[in-house]
Structure 1
Amino acid sequence: MHMKIVLPQLELHKIESTFENTPHEHDEQYQVTIPVQGTCFFTHENKAVKLPAGEGLILHPRDRHSFHIGHDASVIIIRVKDQCMHDQYQDKRFDPASRQSFDAVAWTMLFRQWTTGMLALDHTEKLAVEEIEMQVLAYLQQLFQGGRASDIAPRLEIGTDSHLTRVLEYIHAHYTEQMSIDLLASLAKQSRFHFIRSFKSATGQTPYQYVLLLRIGKAKELLLRSATTVTDISFALGFSSPSQFFRIFAKQVGATPEQYRVKSR
């Protein structure tokens, strides 16, 4: 089985059971290969490397490689764009260690968390997709900075930047529209990584969760105080479809929009 999710800055793969590929290279991507079960028989620049579960490799762009696994093995692969990682280290030497020890159980759980979130998303919601992508990139950033792969956890920045007020004002004025992490981070005058952490530290929510709270709050008001149809409300509030609105409203409120309208009147 081969699961593959492709996002603008990175790719996530999980390969299970018998698999073999031919020697190849990725011109503009780093690759993190993490065997989480069984043994991965890897070839890196014509050198054979035997990787048991928990022993992984970080490959640089243009590193020639191939691997094969048996029926009892499983491998997680993360590929990230070269430029994406170099942008984080403009003033620093960037040269991540090639072989590291990973906590196979922890990284399996992380992979499941990321992919479950991605598969549940409406991919027309750019902000939601970017948030999950940034979660993955935050781990890779720490890993590439020299953090131990077996003991990496998200770092929460304490305190918020004074420009966060401007971000909140912007979100409250434009929450029915599409917005991006880059735009909000620029308003906060922070890096994308710092912005995600500081926003959640200040509000208890990610930017996308905060936007959804505003949309659902407005939806409740419209359902109670107007005769606007549920379909019209969903599009007016920026949801990509009525079904997406139904799903999110029911999850947050515990009732469908129609049920809420009837019960609350």
Structure 2
Amino acid sequence: MPYLKFELPNSKIRILHLDPMGSDVLHTHQDEYQISIPLVGNPYCEMNHTKVVHLSQHQRLVTMPETTHRHFTQEQPAKILLLDVKAKFLQKVLRDRLHCEPGTIEFATVGVGSSDGFRKIAEALLRQSMFGGTDAAQLAEWELELVNLLLSLHPGSHHSQWLSSVPGEMHPALQKALEYIHDTYAEELCLDYLAEISGISKFHLIRLFRETIGQTPSHYINEVRLTRAVEMLTATDREVTDVALDAGFGSLSTFHRAFKKKYGVSAGQYRKIR
């Protein structure tokens, strides 16, 4: 069960190799969240002696602090990227963004979609562990980026607040646009009207979105609607068509394309694996 390992002040990065019928030791992280991302194969994770999750290449697993768990394989070997993040650091990043005490952050067990961002950060940090040459400031930036990715991409109790907030000082026109989007995401939204209620040109609004949030207005609206759809899929038994329309998608086909692009599976499949 060999692995590569790199430790930072608030996180650890490891790559775990498991042979066929292999397993790591049953263990618990007292004060850390652990992200498990399959790199090769489709490993399993047993949690609290009862729940078993089978991970595919489009999924990642988050285990909460104090969750007893182990990774294992059956007939095929696996390689797993393990990212451990201290709970206090995660809460600090969330508190700094939301300007309030976040309390315990409850993540969904399984997240669906690309984990390329996590892999790129891990590769950069592991290269640093072998060759050196990166200063403490760069390491701190990578560690912060890792936590921002987790909070942005993985569903949890924080997700709606996180997506509706932006870091730092915000242009008042952008604030108006964001508030309007979150109040009316289920309605038809167009860029011209967003610009009108914000009091600036649509080109200025696009620039503010890109500079402050890193997305275009249409992309951001899509993210808000998908987040709301995931909340309804996991918390209710409503039909997928109703979920799509209530989340603001104009048609079921548009919803299916957007959902599959972000999460790698259909809405129906997502509901089954949750």
What is the TM-score normalised by the length of structure 1?
0.49
User: Structure with the greater relative contact order (CA < 8 A, sep ≥ 6): 1 or 2?
Assistant: 2
Which structure has the larger Rg? 1
